[in-house]
Amino acid sequence: MIRSLRALTVVLSLASLPTVAPAQLAGLRGGSEEAPPIQGLEPPDPAAAERVITVEAVAEVRVPPSRLRVVLAVAAQAESADEANAAGRTLLAATKARLEASGVAAADIDTDFIAAFPVYAWAVERLNQKDFLAENRVGTRVQYNLHVSVPDEAAALAAVEAAAGAEGVDLLAVDYWSDELTAKQIEAQRKALAAAKAKAELLLSVFEERPQPINVWEGTRILFPHELYRSLPQAEDGARTYYDRDGLTRVPAPRPLQVYYRGLFADVDEVNPTMPGRREIEVVSTVRLYFAAPGRPTGPPAAPAPAVR
């Protein structure tokens, strides 16, 4: 009897637990929809299938970055264009000095003048005893972009912390590069070709007479780290609306965008054995081999039959 009660207690305890949806098990990412970064080969139409056999393979090669670029926006605003230009040059010089103090060489800082543009603001004006809102020019804004070349992520973070803390300096982007991209593309193509040939060796063994290759196609993509980040849905999206309640306007609190580096998860034949984690450049190559189908019909494909109405 005691054993039965214990078993019943366990069953009741498990039954009382809240149901966990698959999306909850996957974290916030469970509610997001992601398009596959690598598109597979579409199935052939029947007319092509009886003439051509297609074998496809995909290979990836991860490339550690050899250089990073930090892009900073340096902007200043004043009532007149001369004052804005002077303030912009002062802030630009101070930002460069902070970057050099953090260890960045002067030769690794490139200045890109973006624009000087007018700034407008709305103000209440009165005409013919009637109030209205008018937009008037109130100043000029000047913006420069600084392109800062650094060797690694630690140096990039140091540059961001040194420069972006000042008023008027914003981080625009961090880009990744490698000096080995050309060689790594060839490496990925060779891996994809070897995988396609191995797959063809297996699949074409169903034929008594081995089909002959008639064509080959190759496509290679370079995926930089910024393309491999994912944005997660925010559970409080409904709270971000403004509306009145009991005479009071509800103003929602700002919520940061949830973003993380996912890396490449795709249908790849020759996949890297380690899980993505570090921000690396992905070189993905697809190779398709075309073989003449045994007993293929001669002559051009037959025209499709006209539709019957």
- Whether residues 83 and 171 share a domain: the answer is yes
Indicate the residue type of 196. Answer: A
Report DSSP letters for 216-272, one per residue. EEEEEEEE-GGGGEEEPPPTTGGGG--EEETTEEE-PPP----EEE----S--SB--
Do 62 and 272 form a contact (C-beta atoms < 8 A)? yes
Spatial separation of the C-alpha atoms in residues 90 and 76, rounded to whole Å: 9
Average pLDDT estimate for 238-256: 66
Going by C-alpha positions, the residue among 99, 94, 70, 86 that lies closest to residue 142 is 86
Is the pLDDT confidence value at 82 over 60? yes
- Whether residues 162 and 71 share a domain: the answer is yes
Spatial separation of the C-alpha atoms in residues 82 and 84, rounded to whole Å: 5
- Whether residues 236 and 112 share a domain: the answer is no
Domain that holds residue 207: 34-64+180-292
pLDDT digits (tens, 9 = 90+) for 169-198: 999 999 999 999 999 999 999 999 999 999
Tell me if 159 is assigned to some domain. Answer: yes
- Whether residues 93 and 143 share a domain: the answer is yes
Tell me if 192 is assigned to some domain. Answer: yes
- Boundary-marking domain end, from 150, 177, 204: 177
Query: Residues 6 or more apart from 43 whose CB is under 8 A from it?
Result: none
Query: For position 241, what pLDDT does the model report?
Result: 57
Tell me if 27 is assigned to some domain. Answer: no
- Whether residues 219 and 273 share a domain: the answer is yes
Tokens representing residue 203 in the block: 């699949």
Q: What is the CATH number of the domain that holds 80?
A: 3.30.70.2970
pLDDT digits (tens, 9 = 90+) for 110-151: 999 999 999 999 999 988 889 989 999 999 999 999 999 999
- Whether residues 233 and 134 share a domain: the answer is no
- Whether residues 184 and 134 share a domain: the answer is no
Comparing 66-75, 147-156, 287-296, the range with the smallest average pLDDT is: 287-296
The DSSP output letter for 35 is -
Tell me if 99 is assigned to some domain. Answer: yes
Tell me if 298 is assigned to some domain. Answer: no
Query: For position 232, what pLDDT does the model report?
Result: 82
Do 75 and 168 form a contact (C-beta atoms < 8 A)? yes
3-class state of residue 200 by DSSP? helix
Residue 51 confidence class, pLDDT cut points 50, 70, 90? confident
- Whether residues 73 and 108 share a domain: the answer is yes
Is the pLDDT confidence value at 4 over 60? no
- Whether residues 122 and 260 share a domain: the answer is no
- Whether residues 280 and 155 share a domain: the answer is no
- Whether residues 172 and 185 share a domain: the answer is no
Tokens representing residue 157 in the block: 């973070």
- Boundary-marking domain end, from 158, 177, 196: 177
- Average pLDDT of the chain is 82
pTM to 2 decimals?
Answer: 0.74
Tell me if 105 is assigned to some domain. Answer: yes
- Whether residues 42 and 185 share a domain: the answer is yes
For the chain, the domain total comes to: 2
Tokens representing residue 186 in the block: 């060839």
Do 138 and 121 form a contact (C-beta atoms < 8 A)? yes
